[in-house]
Amino acid sequence: MIPTIPQSRPFRFAYSAYVILFFLYLALPLLVVTVFAFNDSQFPSLPWEGFTWNWFFGDSAPMIGVFHERPILRAIGTSAFIGAAVSLLAVAVGVSNAFLFTRHKFRGRGLLYVLMLLPLVIPGIVLGISILVFSSTVANSVWDSMKWDLEVLRPGLTLVILGQFSFIATIATLVISARLQKFDQTLEEAALNLGATRLTAVRTITIPYLAPAMVGAFVVAFLMSFENFNTTLMLVGSDAPLTIAMFDRLKEGSTPLLNAVSLLLMLGSSCLALIMIAFQRRD
Amino acid sequence: MREGTRIGFILLVTPLLLWLTLLIVIPHIDMLLISLRERVGVGEYQFSAANYLTFLQEPLYLWTFLRTAVMSVTATLITLLVAFPVAYYIAKMAKGRVKSLLFLLCLVPFWVSELVRTFGWMILLRETGIVSSLLQYLGLVDGPVEMLYNDAAIMTGLVYTSMLFMVVPLITTLGSLDDAVIEAGYDLGGSGPSILREIIIPHAMPGIVSGCIVVFMLSLGNYLTPTMLGGKDSLWFTELIYSQFIVRFNWELGAAFGFVLLFLSSFIVWAMLRLTGQTLEKTMG
């Protein structure tokens, strides 16, 4: 079953047909979401009532477009803020972990490495509730002993950021470690021989080498944070990020407004993906 | 220099330890403690296994749990069966430009939020949706058909949502299989199926295992897809956890449910690694 081994014609035909069907299956849901963002109707379903931009730019009821819908715009802002915070934290901790695991040999290293991988195999909703439970335990005991109400530890932005960080940090660590392992350490030694301090050597040689992986990890972390639903659902407070806001609307019934938001999301993430690919290419 | 590396080591290990203890280890211990207590009065608790007994004695809870587990295993198997031929095609049959294009096309849907993907399936499957309209147009059915809110819809959504996590590891491991080995198999008189069984599948095992682990985890812990595509009575275990925590405010029972879910997922991951002789470091890292 490789090109150099001849196969019967019907077999090859059936195989190609299967692969084409598979890609149709992948594309179909995204295609309908896109198409119905432009339907001039209250519902994202047939019949087709004609083409309209109103679900993007409309400013009067019943067709208020995305760019005039305050709650959605605010939710996008919240998501972007959470995403940036989570990615910054994850990349910082990821770089530190990568140096630790590739440069240092110490007792308990294997155990710590497995522990570091664990967040990937814990269901997101369980991560969410465990952090919710622990933060309330801390907040309650602080209140009981000192009568301080620690707002930070109640469901809200901080907890969402911590919750998402708790597993996205693993991904950032893996992405950055993979590149650091390929680094030729004699380059750093050369810098040391030329009189650089260890810190200068790392700053001027190793970090620039790691930059593509850091950008990659940042983009992946940002997208994962933006899309995250399970962990966020358990930790969210009054200011909901976009996925939660859209979920709440979807439960009440959908309008093509949601299609328009989805289309913008698709465009946004494709742009980020392209930026990332361009960055990796340049290297 | 020794002193320098020591300080460097401490600086590097601190963030890692803070992250793992404060966000992973202690929260789970705290959750375990909370799941092991029972409310006996206002603000008074005592140590007991009552929450776990409730889980075992209430048929609805146990049934939902088993149903979620079985459906997740089924979704994993279907994903594997659907993904394998495609991954093989991309890894072994396609060449050059086409190969990278197909690989990229596989990734595209997953740059989009799961919510959007699920929403797409709702538009397709609901009573006024595309599939129903198409069937009516073709004259295959008389009236609108509701295709949402059943197990098949949940399954479609689950398989779709986790496809990427099966396809990518499969492509990676299949790509590392040398064509010459397959040719040798044919030279030695092997047939298509026997080569698949004796050469290709054993070689792809690490990819199959890591794909299955991730897909199973994602299905088991999924909340969005069963809720949106399965409707109110979809009976998914994560919905029980959500309702105990957010709706009923019974954190003790919710924490116990969380632990049961965690236990099941860890057990399955462990069993899969054990059966195939893989380690977590190798499959995930």
Q: Which residues contact B160 (CB under 8 A, 6 or more apart)?
A: A25, A26, A29, B109, B117, B121
Check CB contact under 8 Å for A29 and B124: yes
> For an interface test with B, which of A101, A121, A137, A234 has the most B Cβ atoms less than 10 Å from its Cβ?
A121
Per-residue model confidence as pLDDT tens digits over B63-98: 999 999 999 999 999 999 999 999 988 888 888 788
Mutation for testing the A interface, residue in B44, B134, B174, B223 having most A CBs under 10 Å: B223
- Residue B78: alpha-carbon gap to chain centroid: 12
Whether pLDDT at A92 is above 90: yes
Nearest CB among A22, A120, A130 relative to B31 is that of A130
Question: What is the 8-class DSSP label of residue B177?
Answer: S
Q: Which of B1, B6, B19, B164 to mutate to test the interface with A (most CBs of A within 10 A)?
A: B19
Instruction: Identify whether B15 is preceded by a cis peptide bond (ω within 30 of 0).
Output: no
Does the distance separating the beta carbons of A125 and B223 come in below 8 Å? yes
Nearest neighbour of A33 by CB, restricted to B106, B119, B242: B119
Q: Which chain B residue has the Cα nearest residue A237?
A: B246
Size of interface A-B (CB pairs under 8 A): 244
* Residue in chain B lying closest to A18 (CA): B86
Taking Cα atoms as reference points, which of B167, B196, B170, B169 lies closest to residue B182? B196
**Which residue out of A5, A36, A129 would a mutagenesis test of the B interface target, given it has the greatest number of B Cβ atoms within 10 Å?**
A129
Provide the phi-psi class of B44: left if phi over 0, else alpha when psi is between -120 and 50, else beta.
beta
Distance CA A172, CA A94 (A): 5
pLDDT higher than threshold 70 for residue B285: no
* Contact of B251 with A133, CB cutoff 8 Å: yes
Q: Which of A1-15, A242-256, B92-106 has the lowest mean pLDDT?
A: A1-15
Question: Which of B23, B192, B284 is opposite residue A166, by nearest beta carbon?
Answer: B23
Give the span between the Cα atoms of A256 and A67, in whole angstroms: 14
**Are the beta carbons of A116 and B4 separated by less than 8 Å?**
no
Helices (H), B178-232: 179-187, 192-195, 201-220, 224-230
Nearest CB to B16 within list A36, A112, A165: A112
pLDDT tens-digit profile of A129-164?
999 999 998 988 888 888 777 777 788 899 999 999
Instruction: List, for residues A43-91, the tens digit of each pLDDT value.
Output: 766 767 777 777 777 676 666 777 777 888 898 999 999 999 999 999 9
Confidence at B108, pLDDT banded by 50, 70, 90: confident
Question: Which chain B positions have a beta carbon within 8 Å of A23's beta carbon?
Answer: 102, 105
Task: For residue range B169-219, list pLDDT tens digits in order.
Answer: 898 888 888 888 888 888 887 777 888 887 888 888 888 888 898 899 889
Q: Kind and range of the H or E element at B47?
A: strand B44-47
Residue A128 to residue A88: CA distance in whole angstroms: 20
| CATH architecture type of domain B59-284 | Orthogonal Bundle (1.10)
What is d(CA A96, CA A83) in angstroms, rounded to the nearest whole number? 20
Residues of B in contact with A18 (CB under 8 A): 85-86
CA distance B123 to chain A (A): 6
Three-state DSSP at A52 gives coil
Query: Using CB atoms, which residue from B26, B111, B281 is nearest to A113?
Result: B281
Q: Inspect the interface and report whether the beta carbons of A116 and B20 lie closer than 8 Å.
A: yes
Judged by CB atoms closer than 8 Å, whether chains meet at A1 and B88 is answered as yes
All domains in chain A, ordered by first residue? 8-68+253-283 (no CATH), 72-241 (1.10.3720.10)
d(CA A19, CA B83): 10
- Cβ B31 vs Cβ A129: under 8 Å: yes
Q: How far apart are CA B161 and CA A137, in angstroms?
A: 35
Q: Is the pLDDT of residue B283 over 70?
A: no
Q: Do B116 and A265 touch (CB under 8 A)?
A: yes
CA-based nearest distance A64→chain B, Å: 20
Contact state of A23 with B265 under an 8 Å Cβ cutoff: no
- ipTM summary value: 0.85
> Domain ranges in chain B?
59-284
What is the pLDDT at residue A254?
74
Residue B107 dihedral angles phi and psi, to the nearest 5°: -80, -30
What totals of helices (H) and strands (E) does chain B contain, helices first?
15, 2
Helix (H) / strand (E) containing B8? helix B2-19
Whether omega for the bond prior to residue B144 falls within 30 degrees of 0, making it cis, is no
